[in-house]
Structure 1
Amino acid sequence: MSIVTTAQAVPSRLFAIYAALFESETGEIKDRIEAWATPPSLSGRGADDDGESTTTLFNNTLQEARRIGLVEDIDDKLRLTADARGGGKKVRDSEVYFLDYMRRTLFDPARALETQQSGFMIALTWFLSSSPLRPMNFSEPPQVGMRAQIGDHAPKTELTSLNRYQNFLYWARYLGFATIVGGRDADDQNARRVIPDPVRAIEGALPAVFAEGNDLPIEQFLTRLSGIFPVFEKGSVREDYEAMLLIPVPDPGQRLSITTSIALQRLADRQRIALTSLADAPTRILDFGSREGRVSHVALRA
């Protein structure tokens, strides 16, 4: 099981447990946490929008919180693990610490394997390899198209049903890699679309990427970025995924994906970074779909 395969383990529910325990450094009795999540009038009934009892929602979410290392059982209490708390104290912004822990867990290949979350990075790499110029349908499972791309490796993404696909999309959006737009159309059909959009994730990583200097050759920039998120170019998970492709990536090591290219250009447009192409310096091709550009250096701007 994982945050993708456990239907109840959406970001809001896992964070709700985290936030409740974040405010109690000594832990809370499990029944009290469950009571907060499942009021007596709703407990055991199909009170949730998904048609499941709130007790089931809580128990399955809690099970995933344990599996991912967020909480531990101490005597008759639930408590955040020291690693999940990350030194945070109550009254502070608990979501900052929650996001930090989830990123450290999901994007460290060893930790992801240990906590049974490896499929998320493979799915995210597939997602980021798609084109933001062709938004995906939120309500159509991707198995057919995915199998055409990576064949028998498709189950490694864990996106084997519509429910799992949507759970993945909620997490991709929460972690800064996706945008979900739209609602229902005139015929009351779900018209939501999903766009690969890692701008927030890259922007959040900029301080670490530029920790030792504000101007980096593009290869060094990619090495540092992929060290934080191995789903980007030069990352270990990205390279493993590209080895699965039935049709190899054109110009490997030279061309950035459309998703990465557009994200970097958007950050440049926002004055967060500067993209330059110096004569005689090694460059990468920026792919914008209808046009191309080149970049040899990335600089951090104020």
Structure 2
Amino acid sequence: MSIVTTAQAVPSRLFAIYASLFESDAGELKDRIEAWATPPSLSGRGADDDGESTTTLFSNTLQEARRIGLVEDMDEKLRLTADARGGGKKGHDSEVHFLDYMKRTLFDPLRAVETQQAGFMIALAWFLSSNPLRPINFSEAPQVGLRAQIGDHASKTELTSLNRYQNFLYWARYLGFATIVGGRDADDQNARRVIPDPVRAIEGALAAIFAESRELPVEQFLTRLSGIFPVFEKGSVREDYEAMRLIPVPDVGQRLSVTTSVALQRLADRQRIALTSVADAPARILDFGSREGRVSHIALRT
């Protein structure tokens, strides 16, 4: 099981448990956390003759929180693990610490395997290789397209049903890699679309990428970015995904994906970075769909 395959383990529910325990170093009674985390409209649904709730909203979310290392049991209480707390104290912004822990867990290949979350990065590598100029249907599971791209490796993404696919999309959006747009159309049909959009994820990594220098050759920038998020070009998970393709993408070592290219250009448009092309310097092709560009150096702007 994982955050993709456990239907109840959406970001808001895992964070609700985390935030509830963040304010208490000594932990809280499990029943109290369940009362806080389970909406009253659902807490009694399906109750048995003894009045015990059979809803799996809390129990399955808690199971995933344990699996991913967020919480531990202490007598009859639950508390955050020291690693998940990350030095955070009562009164701090709990969501900052929650996001930091989730990123450290999900984007470290070894930790992802240990916590049974490895499928998330493989799915994200597929997602970021998609074209943001052709938004993806939120309500259509991608199994057919995945099998066409990577054959029997498709199961490694864990995107084997619509529910799992949508869970993945919620996490991709929460972590800064996706935008979900739209609602219901005139026929009351779900018309939501998903756009691969890693602008927030890249922007959040800029301080670490440029910690030692305010300008980097593009290859060094990509090396540092993929060291934080291995799902980008030059990252180990992205390269593993590219190796799974039944039909390899041409010029994969010289050209950036449309998703990465558009994200970098948007950050440049926002004055967060500067993209330059120095003659005779090693460069990457920026693919914008209808046109191309060239970048050899990326600088942090103030």
TM range (shorter): over 0.9
Q: Which residue of 1 aligns with 2:93?
A: 93
Distance 1:202 1:72 in 2: 32
Q: What's the secondary structure of 2:43's corresponding residue?
A: coil
Query: Does the alignment pair 1:272 with 2:272?
Result: yes
The residue type paired with residue 111 of structure 1 is R
Give SS of 2:293's match: strand
Question: Could you tell me which residue of structure 1 aligns to residue 252 of structure 2?
Answer: 252
Contact 2:46 2:55 in 1 (8 A): no
Cα pair distance change 1:25/1:248, threshold 3 Å: same
Question: 4+ residue runs of structure 1 moved beyond 6 angstroms?
Answer: none
Q: Which one-letter code corresponds to 2:221 in the other structure?
A: F
What is the match of residue 121 of structure 1? 121
Question: Which residue number corresponds to residue 64 of structure 1?
Answer: 64
Per the alignment, do residues 96 and 157 of structure 1 end up closer, same or farther by CA in structure 2, a change over 3 Å counting? same
SS at match of 1:17: helix
Q: Which residue of 2 aligns with 1:50?
A: none
User: Which letter does structure 1 place at the counterpart of 2:90?
Assistant: K
- SS class of match (2:83): helix
In structure 2, the partner of 1:227 is 227
Q: State the partner residue of 1:106.
A: 106
Matched letter for residue 9 of structure 1: A
Superposed, 1:158-237 pairs within 5 Å as: 158-237=158-237
* Structure 2: distance between partners of 1:186 and 1:231: 37
In angstroms, what is the RMSD of aligned CA positions? 1.3
Q: State the shift of 1:143 in Å.
A: 0.4
C-alpha deviation, 1:9, in angstroms: 0.1
Corresponding position of 1:15: 15
Which moved further from structure 2: 229-238 or 25-34?
Answer: 25-34
Kept in 2: contact 1:38–1:54 (CA 8 A): no
Q: How far apart are 1:42 and its partner, in Å?
A: 4.3
The 3-state SS of whatever aligns with 1:231 is: coil
What does the per-residue CA deviation read over 1:157-197, in whole Å, with 9 as the maximum and x for residues that have no partner? 00000000000000000000000000000000000000000
Aligned pairs for 1:16-35 (under 5 A) are 16-35=16-35
Change (3 A) 1:38 1:195: closer
In 2, the alpha carbon distance for the partners of 1:192 and 1:252 equals 30
2:156 alignment partner in structure 1: 156
Residue type of the alignment partner of 2:80: L
Instruction: Check conservation: 1:126, 1:241, Cα contact below 8 A.
Output: yes
Alpha carbons of 1:59 and 1:225: their partners in 2 closer, same or farther (altered >3 Å)? Answer: same
Cα pair distance change 1:187/1:46, threshold 3 Å = farther
Report the residue type matching 1:218 in the other structure. Answer: V
Percent sequence identity over aligned pairs = 89
Q: Distance in 1 between matches of 2:187 and 2:41?
A: 35
Which residue does the alignment assign to 2:50? none
1:64-107 CA-to-partner distances (Å, cap 9, x unmatched) read 00000000001111000000000001111100000000000000
